[in-house]
Amino acid sequence: MPNTLLNNKSVGLVLSGGGVRGMAHIGLIKALREHGIEAQVVAGSSVGALVGALYANGNTVNEMLQFFRDTPLFQYSFFAIGKPGLIDTERYFSIFKKYFPTDDFASLNTPLYVVATDLMSGEEKVFHRGKLIHALLASAALTPFFSPVEIDGILYADGGIMNNFPKEYVENDCDYIIGSNVSIVGTLQKKELKNSLQLTGRVTGLMIYASSREKINQCDLLVEPQELAGIGVLDKKGIEKAFTLGYDHAMKKLESLRL
């Protein structure tokens, strides 16, 4: 139902990729619910797709956080054998099935758009109907850590490669767009660019940020905590901090709407 704080406008929620920093999305959702705001359509990429699916599924904030607390990132039994990537993404299917037992977009309470990258054609792919779990796994398959996910003979990987902030999939279905961007590039010291992995990560992050900047700035309300830059993308120890940063920043933004 449209909310009163935003003058009964229908709301679209856009959630970026960004690994563990994506717990800030959950902080935003907590703040929105405390202000009586619910989205009528959601779009997400990578971790944003996962949080968006949990939100669209009607899960509580605590259930969302627990999902990420309980989901292992680097577990010996999950190591990929005979596949590109360090971790076999398919091994997460059973974990996701506990939260999405029906495994279908149609089972969600809110329309959801999930973005992934077609590695074979080099094009963006948006999933909106049909099987849900493999679409989520594909969108979150961050290379080179997680193996690509095969869907109908096509290999898909992280949605953030092609579209880290899929605002275009909600803007025609709502009056007011709330965005959460957790792909923060920040400022680095020279000592933080000592090896090829660090350099690659930095350059990739800058390219993703640059490609999304215009769409991010077009949001009616944006939550983008710069302090997230201090949290590692795959550092599970940062879950609680990222969540708190998202919540605090969202509360300040929402309180300003009352002025």
In the set 46, 139, 147, 180, the catalytic residue is 46
In 3D space, the residue among 163, 170, 165, 178 whose CA is nearest the CA of residue 219 turns out to be 178
Residue length of the chain = 259
211 catalytic? Reply is no
The C-alpha atoms of residue 161 and residue 197 are separated, in whole angstroms, by 17
In the set 16, 45, 147, 158, the catalytic residue is 158
Establish how many alpha carbons lie within 13 A of residue 161's alpha carbon, considering only the half-sphere containing its beta carbon: 21
The C-alpha atoms of residue 11 and residue 167 are separated, in whole angstroms, by 12
107 catalytic? Reply is no
Angular region, 63: left φ>0, alpha ψ -120 to 50, beta rest: alpha
Backbone angles phi, psi at 187, to 5 degrees: -115, 130
In 3D space, the residue among 111, 104, 210 whose CA is nearest the CA of residue 170 turns out to be 111
Catalytic residue positions?
46, 158
